[in-house]
Amino acid sequence: MKARARAITLLAALLGLASPWFGIPGWTLSVATVAAFTALALIGLNLVFGVLGMLAFGQAAFVALPGYVAGMLELLGAPTLAAMLAGVVVTVVVAAVVARIFVQLPGTYFAVGTLGFSFVIEGLARAFPEWTGGASGLVFASGRDIGPMAWYALATSALALGLLAWHFTVRTARDRRFRTVRHDELAAAVVGIDVARVKVGMFTLASGFCAVAGIGLAYYVGVLVPEGAGVNRSLEYVGTLLLGGAGSMLGPIVGAALVQWLFVVAGYGKQFELLLYGAAFLGAVLYARHGLVGLAAPLWRRAVSDRTGHGERADGFGRRAPELGDPALADARLQGLPAARGAAGGSGEALSVVDVSKNFGGVQALRSVSFSVRYGEIFALVGPNGAGKSTLFNVISGVEPPSAGQVLLDGERIDGLPIHRRAPRIGRAFQVARLVPGLSVLDNVVTRLDQIAPDMPEAARRGAALRQLRQFGLEGLAADDVAVLAAGQHKLIDLARAAVGSPRLVLLDEPAVGLTAAELDHLRRLLLELRDSGCAVVVVEHNIAFVSSVADRGVVLDGGALIAAGDFSSIIREPRVLEAYFGVLS
Partner 1 sequence: MNLFTQSIYSGLTSGAVYALLAMGLVIAFRTTRVVNLAHGESYAVGGLSIALLQQAGVPMLLALVAGIVLGMVFLWGMDRVLLRPRASWPVPSLILITLGLAFLTRGVLLVAAGVDPLSFPRLVAGPPLRWAGGILPRQALVLIGVSIVAAIAVAVFLGRTRFGRQLRATAEHPDAAQLMGVNVNATRAVAFLLAGGLGALAAALLVPLVPVDFQTGLGMTLRGFIAAALAGMVPGAAVFCGFILGLFEAFVTSYGGALASDPVVFVVLIVAALWRSRSIRFEGRARA
Partner 2 sequence: MDMRRLLGLVVGVAVVSASGMTGSHAADPINIGMIAPTTGVMATVGQRQLATAQWWESDVNAKGGIKGRPVKLIHCNDEANPEKAVSCVRDLLARGSVLLINSSVTGPIRATMPLIRNGPVMVTPSPNVMPEASSYVFQTSPSDMDLTRTLVEYLHRSKVDSIGVIAATDASGELGVNTVRTLLPASAIRFNLARIDLRATDASIQLAQVAKSDVRLIYSTYSGGGAATVVKSFNNLGLEQPLVVSYANLSDQFIALIRNDMPQRLLGLGLKGVAPELLTDPAERERVAYFARAWQQARGEAIDQLNLNALTLVDTIEAILRNGPDTADPAAVKAWLERTPIRSFQTLRFSAQNHIGMNETHAAILEYKGGRWVPAAPVQ
Based on the shown chain and the rule CB under 8 A, indicate whether residue 235 belongs to the binding site for partner 1: yes
Near partner 2 by CB under 8 A: residue from 107, 267, 283, 345: 267
* Interior/surface letters 471-489, b for 16+ CB within 10 angstroms, e for the rest: bbebbebbebbbeebeebb
Based on the shown chain and the rule CB under 8 A, indicate whether residue 116 belongs to the binding site for partner 1: yes
Pick out residues in 97-156 that bind partner 2 (CB under 8 A): 126, 129, 134-137, 139, 141, 144
Pick out residues in 476-505 that bind partner 2 (CB under 8 A): none
Window 54-93: contact mask with partner 1 (x via CB under 8 A): -x--------------------------------------
Q: What angle do CA 515, 516, 517 make, to 5 degrees?
A: 120
Looking at residue 312, what DSSP letter applies? -
Based on the shown chain and the rule CB under 8 A, indicate whether residue 271 belongs to the binding site for partner 2: yes
Window 562-581: contact mask with partner 1 (x via CB under 8 A): --------------------
Window 370-399: contact mask with partner 1 (x via CB under 8 A): --------------------x---x----x
**What does the alpha-carbon distance between residue 291 and residue 241 come to, in Å, rounded to a whole number?**
8
Near partner 2 by CB under 8 A: residue from 175, 184, 273, 410: 273
Q: Are 43 and 166 in contact (CB under 8 A)?
A: yes
Near partner 2 by CB under 8 A: residue from 108, 147, 270, 455: 270
Based on the shown chain and the rule CB under 8 A, indicate whether residue 295 belongs to the binding site for partner 1: no
| Gyration radius (Cα) of the chain, Å | 28
Residue by residue, DSSP assigns 431-489 as SS----TTSBHHHHHHHHHHHH-TTS-HHHHHHHHHHHHHHTT-GGGTTSBGGGS-HHH
Based on the shown chain and the rule CB under 8 A, indicate whether residue 487 belongs to the binding site for partner 1: no
Q: Which among partner 2, partner 1, none contacts residue 30 (Cβ within 5 to 8 A by kind)? A: partner 2
Pick out residues in 300-329 that bind partner 2 (CB under 8 A): none
**What does the alpha-carbon distance between residue 418 and residue 518 come to, in Å, rounded to a whole number?**
37
Based on the shown chain and the rule CB under 8 A, indicate whether residue 21 belongs to the binding site for partner 2: yes
Based on the shown chain and the rule CB under 8 A, indicate whether residue 585 belongs to the binding site for partner 2: no
Q: Is 388 exposed, middle or buried (0-12, 13-18, 19+ CB in 10 A)?
A: buried
Q: Which among partner 2, partner 1, none contacts residue 112 (Cβ within 5 to 8 A by kind)? A: partner 1
Based on the shown chain and the rule CB under 8 A, indicate whether residue 123 belongs to the binding site for partner 1: yes
Q: Which stretch binds partner 1 (CB under 8 A): 22-30, 107-115, 334-342, 458-466?
A: 107-115
Pick out residues in 527-566 that bind partner 1 (CB under 8 A): none
Nearer to partner 1, 91 or 240 (CB): 240
**What does the alpha-carbon distance between residue 113 and residue 132 come to, in Å, rounded to a whole number?**
24
C-alpha distances (whole Å) from 546 to each of 190, 380, 382 are: 26, 11, 12
Q: Which among partner 1, partner 2, none contacts residue 11 (Cβ within 5 to 8 A by kind)? A: partner 2
Beta-carbon contacts of residue 93 (< 8 Å; ≥ 6 apart): none
**Number of other CB atoms surrounding residue 121 within 10 Å:** 23
**Number of other CB atoms surrounding residue 8 within 10 Å:** 13
Size of the site for partner 2 (CB under 8 A): 37
Based on the shown chain and the rule CB under 8 A, indicate whether residue 23 belongs to the binding site for partner 2: yes
Looking at residue 403, what DSSP letter applies? S
Q: Which among partner 2, partner 1, none contacts residue 120 (Cβ within 5 to 8 A by kind)? A: partner 1
**What does the alpha-carbon distance between residue 132 and residue 149 come to, in Å, rounded to a whole number?**
29
Based on the shown chain and the rule CB under 8 A, indicate whether residue 242 belongs to the binding site for partner 1: yes
Nearer to partner 2, 311 or 346 (CB): 311
Amino acid at 158: A
* H/E run at residue 351: strand 349-360
CB of residue 293 to partner 2, shortest distance in Å? 22
Amino acid at 502: S
CB of residue 118 to partner 2, shortest distance in Å? 15
Based on the shown chain and the rule CB under 8 A, indicate whether residue 185 belongs to the binding site for partner 1: yes
561 has which bridge partners?
A: 558
505-509 and 412-413 as β-strands: parallel, antiparallel, unpaired? unpaired
311 has which bridge partners?
A: none
| CA proximity to 68, closest of 209, 237, 213, 229 | 229
Nearer to partner 1, 399 or 565 (CB): 399
- Note the residues at the interface with partner 1 (CB under 8 A): 53, 55, 101-102, 104-109, 111-113, 115-117, 119-120, 122-124, 126-127, 185-186, 231-232, 235, 238-239, 242, 271-279, 281-286, 289, 390, 394, 399-400, 430-431, 434
